[in-house]
């Protein structure tokens, strides 16, 4: 009875933590509505620096795999979560002070500042996230995970929408001033401080607070050579992720520097995508169960990329049409993420689970990092040559759309295996994809824990 009571408290604390942390999660992703506005509208750091900053979360996801084994030698998983959470918060508090005094008319200095800031917070967030995944798997009973995380996700989604509405109102009333951003950043930091304090209240059944796999990596990686379907899908995810990350960087830069989108408008576009995505979740779940994950991936990703053709014809005079683009994109992106999650459940082998997750995360993270870096550098060089900026953004977006559509060919005629009922979660494997889609407006996925519910019939 005592264990049941503590488990109930742990689940309640974990839910409150997720809700309070939502503003911080969105703030920590450069492609989100608030960070994109801060970097491009207020400080105008330019394509090169924004590409570098936007790549930081993916770079951290790629490198954390090399760093984690060092820390797990002398730190318990629960201690890793709490320690890196406080470290991350400290970096943000220092960043808040820096943002308050950073000159608005020196983009090079601002770009360097944000590159260092997001490098620090991305790495600490990544290390915290991998430890949190192991810890939460320990204190959330496996039989309850699907039902519990579905409920937790609903509450975090409400927190996301609430913060988006607050941001939209604040940025509109205070004309996206430095004070407006400092106020929103302060809300995110205070919320994160509360969430970390709540984490201290969770008591894990395992005194180590869970564990991170320390299996024989050489053998696991060797075994993956036989998993041709998995390797093929990782290749698709990497190529598609490259073009998604590139398109996300172009969209933010184009919106603020050329289309004259205000931060409040950009937030409202993201809110439209978030709402349409949340509404379509049940529909995509049924279609995936009925027709399979691969057809759903191919259809939704193709439709998502086709919808982005609107970027090639939009202008400051027709900016309100962007609501339709983001409504469509949010709906399609949701189906793509859910289908991708379902297919990974089927493809990752049970005996090489940790290696499969790590390989997928590393490959997609590298691709997600290279995209913004490359596109930012290209746009920066082209604009320095005094070529028309509008045409530059349209050509870059067109290339990203075409590249994304062609990446679908990797999945053509790929067989889809049956679902293994013993596996209903793939901890950490979806992190890069969730981060990438935030720049496309699907903000409610930023802190979502994807767990397939068990069939109890």
CB atoms < 10 A from the CB of 188, how many? Answer: 23
- pLDDT value of residue 1: 34
Give the chain's residues under pLDDT 70: 1-4, 65, 146, 207-221, 350-354, 418-457
- pLDDT value of residue 347: 83
- Distance CA(68)–CA(64), nearest Å, equals 6
- pLDDT value of residue 423: 54
Q: What is the mean pLDDT of the chain?
A: 84
Domain boundaries, the chain: 2-205+213-445
Contact 309, 284 (CB under 8 A): no
Question: Which residues, including other chains, have CB under 8 Å from residue 56's CB and lie 6 or more apart?
Answer: 30, 115, 118, 119, 122, 369
Question: Which residues, including other chains, have CB under 8 Å from residue 306's CB and lie 6 or more apart?
Answer: 401, 405
Is the CATH number 1.20.1250.20 carried by domain 2-205+213-445?
yes
Angle 21-26-32 (CA atoms, 0-180°, nearest 5)? 175
Measured in Å, how far apart are the chain's first and last C-alpha atoms?
A: 27
- pLDDT value of residue 2: 44
Question: Which residues, including other chains, have CB under 8 Å from residue 289's CB and lie 6 or more apart?
Answer: none
pTM to 2 decimals?
0.85
- pLDDT value of residue 257: 87
- pLDDT value of residue 71: 76
Side-chain half-sphere of 180: how many Cα atoms within 13 Å? 20
- pLDDT value of residue 337: 85
Side-chain half-sphere of 367: how many Cα atoms within 13 Å? 22
Side-chain half-sphere of 263: how many Cα atoms within 13 Å? 32
């Amino acid at each position: 009875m005592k264990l049941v009571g503590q488990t109930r408290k742990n689940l309640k604390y974990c839910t409150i933590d997720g809700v309070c942390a939502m503003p911080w999660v969105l703030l920590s992703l450069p492609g989100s509505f608030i960070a994109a506005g801060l970097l491009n509208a207020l400080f105008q750091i330019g394509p090169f620096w924004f590409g570098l900053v936007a790549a930081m979360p993916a770079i951290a996801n790629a490198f954390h795999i090399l760093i984690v084994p060092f820390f797990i030698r002398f730190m318990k998983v629960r201690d890793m979560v709490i320690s890196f959470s406080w470290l991350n918060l400290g970096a943000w508090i220092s960043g808040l002070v820096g943002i308050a005094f950073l000159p608005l008319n020196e983009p090079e200095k601002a770009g360097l500042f944000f590159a260092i800031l997001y490098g620090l917070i991305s790495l600490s967030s990544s290390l915290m996230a991998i430890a949190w995944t192991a810890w939460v798997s320990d204190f959330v009973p496996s039989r309850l995970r699907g039902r519990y995380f579905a409920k937790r996700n609903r509450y975090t989604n409400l927190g996301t929408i609430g913060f988006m509405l607050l941001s939209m109102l604040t940025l509109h009333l205070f004309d996206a001033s430095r004070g407006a951003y400092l106020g929103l950043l302060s809300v995110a930091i205070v919320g994160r401080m509360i969430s970390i304090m709540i984490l201290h209240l969770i008591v894990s059944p395992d005194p180590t607070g869970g564990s991170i796999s320390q299996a024989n990596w050489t053998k696991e990686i060797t075994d993956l050579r036989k998993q041709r379907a998995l390797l093929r899908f990782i290749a698709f995810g990497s190529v598609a992720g490259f073009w998604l990350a590139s398109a996300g960087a172009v969209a933010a830069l184009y919106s603020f520097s050329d289309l004259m989108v205000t931060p409040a408008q950009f937030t409202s576009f993201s809110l439209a995508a978030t709402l349409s995505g949340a509404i379509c979740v049940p529909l995509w779940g049924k279609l995936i169960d009925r027709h399979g994950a691969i057809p759903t991936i191919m259809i939704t990703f193709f439709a998502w990329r086709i919808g982005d053709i609107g970027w090639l014809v939009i202008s400051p005079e027709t900016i309100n049409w962007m609501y339709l683009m983001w409504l469509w994109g949010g709906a399609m992106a949701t189906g793509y993420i859910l289908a991708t999650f379902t297919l990974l459940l089927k493809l990752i082998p049970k005996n090489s689970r940790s290696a499969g997750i790590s390989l997928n995360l590393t490959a997609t993270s590298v691709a997600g990092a290279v995209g913004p870096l490359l596109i930012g550098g290209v746009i920066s060089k082209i604009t320095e040559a005094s070529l028309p900026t509008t045409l530059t953004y349209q050509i870059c977006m067109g290339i990203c759309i075409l590249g994304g559509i062609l990446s679908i060919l990797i999945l053509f005629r790929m067989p889809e295996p049956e679902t293994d009922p013993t596996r209903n979660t793939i901890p950490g494997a979806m992190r890069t994809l969730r981060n990438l889609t935030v720049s496309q407006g699907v903000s409610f996925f930023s802190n979502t824990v994807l767990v397939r519910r068990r069939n109890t019939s």
